[in-house]
Amino acid sequence: MFINKLLLVLIISPFVAALTGKELLDFAVKQYTKAVHEIKTGVRCPSIGRPTATAWDTLPVVTSDFRVGFYPGILWYLYEYTNDKTWKELAITATEAEADIQYINRTHDIGFDIMGSFGNGYRLTKNEKYSKVIVTAANTLATRFNPKVGCTRSWNSKKPDQFIVIADNMMNLELLFEGSRLSGNKTLYDMAVSHTNVTIREHLRADYSHYQVVMFNETSGHVMKKYTVDGYADHSCWSQAQGWLVSGLTTAYRYTRAEYILRAAEGVAKYFIDKSPADGIPYWDYDVPHDSNHTYIPRDSSAAATAASGLIELYEFTKNDKYLIGFKRIMESLNGDRYRADAKPEYKIPALFLNGTTSFKKSIYDTAMIFGDYYYVKSFKYYLDL
Ligand SMILES: *[C@@H]1O[C@H](CO)[C@@H](O)[C@H](O)[C@H]1NC(C)=O
Ligand SMILES: *[C@@H]1O[C@H](CO)[C@@H](O)[C@H](O)[C@H]1NC(C)=O
Ligand SMILES: *[C@@H]1O[C@H](CO)[C@@H](O)[C@H](O)[C@H]1NC(C)=O
Ligand SMILES: *[C@@H]1O[C@H](CO)[C@@H](O)[C@H](O)[C@H]1NC(C)=O
Ligand SMILES: *[C@@H]1O[C@H](CO)[C@@H](O)[C@H](O)[C@H]1NC(C)=O
Ligand SMILES: *[C@@H]1O[C@H](CO)[C@@H](O)[C@H](O)[C@H]1NC(C)=O
């Protein structure tokens, strides 16, 4: 059954030649075998990979930055893929060094951080210590929940009454869902569902694009303002958070099996597929005008890799070929000459692909991104297992 579908896809998609997840994971093993030599695993974590640098830019392991869970996560996936205990030992070192993140309550990003490291560690080892960290971290994130708004707070604000929620925060809910599953505490689950409901109601637009930021009045629960910080304009659709929504809403569906969440996940996924250029990799914002004032408009490959991780799971849930084709188009492109991190001799960075954009406004674009690599590896493992 699946084989037939695969053949169909091979015939109808011009971008799909001979995509085998295996080759791509072999490439990941090769690149990360190089990368780990330069990374002080357990002390620093890679974040951005500039094309001609030989080593990744790094962050300390315990921080409130959203990116520190991805490196341990990649190491866990490489262990799962190769069954080689060298990767397992590295993954354990990288993960356990991040234990103190479970208590960090000044940011919502502990969802990203803990699920990348301890979440994958628990998935593969069933180590009870890891389960405890996940549950504690979920309860830490829960301290940011406001019942009046129905959401966990994203960014802190010093102004009275302001309660800021960003669309990206859908990705942190997996920690609440998983913390609830592991502890049996239904409150954590209800918070995640409530946050999902508010995101669908307030962040999504009728065409399934989104507002990145919604500011609520935390006393009344009313919406004060909808705008963007990282996107091109308040009315535009920032590709990275569109990717977070594809993945985050699909994850919320995995835990809830609620039809209205599936509809929302499919809506944002269709937007991502239909509005991206032919190679499946969006520009950094879907609505940047292609005119003389915007002479260089970079892509966002990491947004595409993130979306791909949702698309392959959506395909599993719905068996709708649109998502499998969308997934393959993205993965083929990332693995091709236009994006791959070894596409040109002058590229030295031991990463998987370039052309990620974290912030066009801060001039961070056309580089490898650790989260892009993470979602690429995660997606391919998922695809191979299907
Ligand atoms: C965060 O943790 C600190 C120290 O444990 C505590 O004083 C503070 O009240 C906590 N903040 C929230 C929002 O729970
Ligand atoms: C369930 O989670 C909520 C939110 O973190 C917390 O207030 C409550 O104490 C937890 N209940 C138990 C039994 O741990
Ligand atoms: C979420 O929305 C669904 C569908 O409208 C509703 O049935 C459910 O009660 C809501 N849950 C929460 C916690 O808001
Ligand atoms: C927030 O809502 C409360 C209660 O309705 C109101 O008193 C307060 O003025 C509002 N704050 C802002 C900044 O609008
Ligand atoms: C380019 O920017 C200038 C200055 O802001 C503006 O006057 C002009 O209309 C813009 N051109 C286009 C094509 O939007
Ligand atoms: C990808 O980034 C490289 C430099 O990092 C750049 O030269 C190239 O044009 C970019 N490719 C695309 C498709 O934007």
At residue 275, the pLDDT reads 98
pTM exceeding the 0.85 threshold for the entire prediction: yes
Residue span of the structural domain in which 164 resides: 2-385
Q: Which amino acid is at 185?
A: N
Pocket test for ligand 1, best of 105, 139, 154 (most atoms within 8 A of CB): 105
Which residue, judged by its Cα, is nearest atom 7 of ligand 1? 105
What pLDDT was estimated at residue 362? 83
**Backbone dihedral angles phi then psi of residue 230, each to the nearest 5 degrees:** -95, -15
Task: Specify the pLDDT at position 1.
Answer: 42
Q: What would the 3-class secondary structure string for the chain be?
A: CHHHHHHHHHHHCCCCCCCCHHHHHHHHHHHHHHHHHHCCCCCEEECEECCCCCCCCEEECCCCCCCCCHHHHHHHHHHHHHCCHHHHHHHHHHHHCCHHHHHCCCCCCHHHHHHHHHHHHHHHHCCHHHHHHHHHHHHHHHCCEECCCCEECCCCCCCCCEEEEEHHHHHHHHHHHHHHHHHCCHHHHHHHHHHHHHHHHHHECCCCCECCEEEEECCCCCEEEEECCCCCCCCCCEHHHHHHHHHHHHHHHHHHCCHHHHHHHHHHHHHHHHHCCCCCCCECECCCCCCCCCCCCCECHHHHHHHHHHHHHHHHHHCCHHHHHHHHHHHHHHCCCCCECCCCCCCCCCCCECCECCECCCCECCEEEHHHHHHHHHHHHHHHHC
CA distances from 364 to 31, 46, 284, 292, 357 (A): 22, 15, 11, 21, 6
Q: Could you read off the pLDDT tens digit of each residue along the chain, which spans 386 residues?
A: 444 444 444 444 444 445 677 888 899 999 999 999 999 999 999 999 999 999 999 999 999 899 999 999 999 999 999 999 999 999 999 999 999 999 999 999 999 999 999 999 999 999 999 999 999 999 999 999 999 999 999 999 999 999 999 999 999 999 999 999 999 999 999 999 999 999 999 999 999 999 999 999 999 999 999 999 999 999 999 999 999 999 999 999 999 999 999 999 999 999 999 999 999 999 999 999 999 999 999 999 999 999 999 999 999 999 999 999 999 999 999 999 999 999 999 999 999 999 999 888 888 999 999 999 999 999 999 998 88
Q: Is 354 in the pocket of ligand 6 (CB under 6 A)?
A: yes
User: Which residue CA neighbors atom 9 of ligand 1 most closely?
Assistant: 105
Is any atom of ligand 4 closer than 6 Å to the C-beta of 359?
Answer: no
Residues labelled as active-site residues: 109, 168
- Ligand 4 pocket test, pick from 148, 157, 158, 161 with the greatest ligand atom count within 8 Å of Cβ, gives 161
Judged by its nearest atom, the ligand closest to the C-alpha of residue 296 is 6
Backbone angles phi, psi at 353, to 5 degrees: -150, 160
Atom of ligand 2 nearest to the CA of 143: 5
Q: What is the tally of structural domains in the chain?
A: 1
Ligand closest in space to the Cα of 162: 4
Tokens of 47: 């974040």
User: Ligand 2: which of 105, 187, 188 to mutate, judged by most atoms within 8 Å of the beta carbon?
Assistant: 187
Q: What is the CATH number of the domain that holds 112?
A: 1.50.10.10
State the angle between helix axes of 259-275 and 301-318 in degrees (0 to 180), rounded to the nearest 10: 130
- Atom number, ligand 1, closest to the C-alpha of residue 144: 13
Q: Give residue 307's pLDDT.
A: 98
Question: What pLDDT is recorded for position 19?
Answer: 60
Nearest to 64 by CA among 27, 110, 25: 110
Question: Residue 358: what pLDDT?
Answer: 84
